[in-house]
Amino acid sequence: MKVTLFQLLITIPLLLLVVGGIIYIFVLLCKALRKYIRSSETRKESAIIKKFLGEVLKSHRTKNKMTQEFVAEAIGVSRQSVSKWEQGISDPSTSNLFALAKLFGVTVEELLKEVE
């Protein structure tokens, strides 16, 4: 099988393009991984703050002798949302934080002050 000059002129640039694309993707993955590794402190700090907010919400709920289901119905969210907030998996929205503070009989500032 003979390879013509025309086939070589088409094949070589395509090969270089594919290899260049693979190298480019590898470089992007390395940069993303490096950025992710460097952000571990920020992620840890964020997780601690979320956990503390969850603990504050749970302590106010238990102090007021409320169930997660009662809190959820009172502010119009699911019981699973309240559970996630208390576990530190997610944070309540600003409007939900205001509703929680009102339900617990405290101000938002008092809730957040306990987190610090």
pLDDT (tens, 9 = 90+) of the chain, 116 residues, equals: 787 877 878 888 889 999 999 999 999 999 999 988 888 887 777 766 666 889 999 999 999 999 999 999 999 999 999 999 999 889 999 999 999 999 999 999 988 887 75
Please state, in angstroms and rounded to a whole number, the distance separating the CA atoms of residues 59 and 112: 13
Classify domain 43-115 at the CATH topology level: 434 Repressor (Amino-terminal Domain) (1.10.260)
Cα Rg of the chain, angstroms: 27
The pTM of the full predicted model, rounded to 2 decimals, is 0.59
